[in-house]
Homo-oligomer: A and B are copies of this chain.
Amino acid sequence: MNKRKLGRGVTIVGAGMTRFGLFKDRDSKDLFAEAFTEMLGSVDRGVDPAEVEALYIGNFSNDYFARQSHWAPLIADVIGLCPKAATRTEGACASSALAFREGVFAIASGFYDLVIVGGVEDMSKRTTEEVAEGLALAAAPYESRAGFTFPGVFGAVATAYFDRYGARREHLMDITIKSHRNAPLNPKAQFPFTIRDAMQAKAESLRKRGQPVPDWKDEKDFLRDPGVNPMVAWPLYLYDCCPISDGASCLLLAAEPIARRFTDDPIHVIGIGQGSGRGFHGSSDLTTFEATRHAAQEAYAMAGLAPRDIQFAEVHDCFSIAELIHIEDLGFFKPGEGYKAVSDGQTRLDGPKPINTSGGLKCKGHPVGATGTSQLYEVWTQLRGQAGARQIPQADLRFGAAHNLGGTGGTSTFTILERR
């Protein structure tokens, strides 16, 4: 692997995102405008929007979901950017991580100094069946033809992992329980409650309707109740799966030489990696994603860091099993050891390697095109010590990372950020 580098440094000097959720009365333009406005307010010394030189916007399939394509100039219009350049990137669920990457290249190339990157997706205007159909378009054709939709793909991944390493359904529950502990601490989360909260709410609702309340012993016992947590694609159940969401997120990128005009606390982009995978049909091992391993190696080499140096990360937990696979592929834990680490509490907010402090896709939500830059929003917020109730308690946060996956492993990105 060549050690790649950029001609000049790139920093993040502002970030904004909407709450994620189902917003039937708001379209992609409305959502992006809200994220953009929050971003403007986040720039410590302020920024004149007229200074922004270009936009990169990640979107998976508003063609399908919103019956409108060619979104980049529409978004540019809403934020007053016309006639400057606006480009859409698409890499399924990794669409806005690609927008981020292109913004980094555009600045590192010397062409631009100040660029907005972000993502948006508007999924709630269609039926669940239509959304499932739209999402399935991103599965490699071979998988769709074999009858797989996304839960089926990741169900097979879980089965393979269980078979090889002896993990069980209960280990996946540990991931869900951990993410749901972080979620109520994140005001942007679609599901801001713990599993214990859900348990109490369910009990109350049953009681109100005069129905018997099961004697759930603990969170896992609750998650074993098929009335609460029905099977989706064995061994994945409802609480193993991220939701359908609407939302937008964005970041303001500045060339290193001008970053201090905007803030004394810019966050530096020190490692970027991207890989492509061939999906199931080209994979000899379902318990690892080749694209992620490639992206991680590239980013680590560029940053001159090893997995142990990364203090915390957002990883792409479209399903609970995905988080497990990724924390191993990214080198945080050895193959087959990830599930034990999770069950030991190592990935909790107060553990040695916090994962998905935002609540992850599972709890924060997953408006496909918005997810990549929302993960970087979380890393930026944590590194700057602005995460409030969910701030990682470790002193001296310096290195954080974000991992975004598209499709069934077709696209993967890994980004390492540094606070100096």
Contact = CB atoms under 8 A, between A and B. Distances in A.
A84 B276 contact: yes
A321 interface: no
A94 to B, nearest CB: 9
A264 to B, nearest CB: 26
Nearest to A27: B141
A332 interface: no
A85 B63 CA distance: 24
Interface in A34-78: 54-55, 60-61, 63-64, 67-70, 72-74, 76-77
The dominant DSSP class at the A interface is mixed
A407 interface: yes
Contact of A88 (B90, B109, B141): B90
A87 interface: yes
B410 A276 contact: no
Contact of A110 (B54, B108, B111): B108
Interface of A: 4-8, 54-55, 60-61, 63-64, 67-70, 72-74, 76-77, 81-92, 98, 101-102, 104-106, 108-112, 134, 137-138, 140-141, 144, 272, 274-279, 282, 290-291, 293-295, 406-407, 410-411
A6 B69 contact: no
Contacts of A88: 89-91, 98
Nearest to A75: B276
Contacts of A69: 60-61, 64, 90, 92, 137-138
Contacts of A278: 73, 77, 82
A273 to B, nearest CB: 8
A109 B105 CA distance: 6
10 nearest interchain CB pairs? A73-B410, A108-B109, A85-B274, A83-B294, A7-B110, A7-B7, A70-B138, A69-B137, A73-B276, A70-B92
A410 B55 CA distance: 13
B85 A87 contact: no
